[in-house]
Structure 1
């Protein structure tokens, strides 16, 4: 299993490389067709559906065994399934529902893609509805025929809208 270590600078470098690349779809060694950007964007809907179940285990199932989560409302880096489950057990108490505001997909090859942009979460805190806008990066890898999150970074917007 490949490890993905992509920070903000790495993502910028990958994006810059992709801008200069041919528009021909990437092919893996097995000549499997690369996914479309729309297929990668749809992975967020699957993740959001898992959030709606209120089950932290179902959300964690969307992450690869070696995934790293840099969550929005915790300072702790989550790099094990148990840590990811722990984060979502607390986060799901707010009944979150996400909406993509701006998405930029980079399909790297048939098995790897990045979706980065901004999203808005509707939450219920202390019985009152609220929203939080945040930046996100999802790095996906197709493992055993299933698209999984290998790296997820989310951080609240630093400036007021």
Structure 2
């Protein structure tokens, strides 16, 4: 699998265009169309763009109210919005920028999909020094109320051995 680099601005625009009609289909009683692999891949771009805002609430908005987050740099399972906001408030202090290294997308049905693989974060400390963290991830997405939300997100550092 190839390496992918994502830009935040283009991702937000692309996501808005791709999902603009989804809410209408739901509201009119029609079944949503099965998402494409590209649409699911671009949900990471949306999440990465939210990280770039450095606003923990904007990132938390991408998670369902009942979502579970097993974060990269915390041992605490985050099961509430407040807990997820708390985690991201601290995580965003390092100005993370994610980049997918390898992934597998599984579209389960019209309203759920899994994106799992390896990603790398570039972190910047308060002195401007950059470091890299390689991690494994799994995002489980569910279409709710016409919007793709994260219902489960697991991220852990890649073992060194």
Question: TM-score normalised by the shorter chain: which range applies?
Answer: 0.7 to 0.9
Q: TM-score, normalised by structure 1?
A: 0.79
Give the drift of 1:125: 2.4
SS at match of 1:54: coil
Aligned to 1:44: 44
2:114 equivalent to 1:114: yes
Q: Residues of 1 paired with 2:32 and 2:143: CA distance?
A: 12
Off by >4 Å, runs of 4+ in structure 1: none
Q: CA deviation at 1:32?
A: 2.9
Whole-Å separation in 2 of the counterparts to 1:143 and 1:159:
38
Aligned twin of 1:133: 134
Quick one: distance in 1 between partners of 2:54 and 2:160?
30
Residues 1-40 of structure 1 correspond to what in structure 2 (within 5 A)? Answer: 31-40=31-40
2:154 maps to what in 1? 153
1:16-95 aligned within 5 A? 31-95=31-95
Q: Which runs of 5+ in 1 are unaligned?
A: 1-28
In structure 1, C-alpha distance between the alignment counterparts of 2:104 and 2:154, rounded to whole Å? 14
Q: Which runs of 5+ in 2 are unaligned?
A: 1-28
Q: Distance in 1 between matches of 2:160 and 2:36?
A: 32
RMSD: 1.3
Between the aligned partners of 2:79 and 2:85, the Cα distance in structure 1 is 10
TM-score in terms of structure 2 length: 0.79
The size of the alignment, in residue pairs, is 132
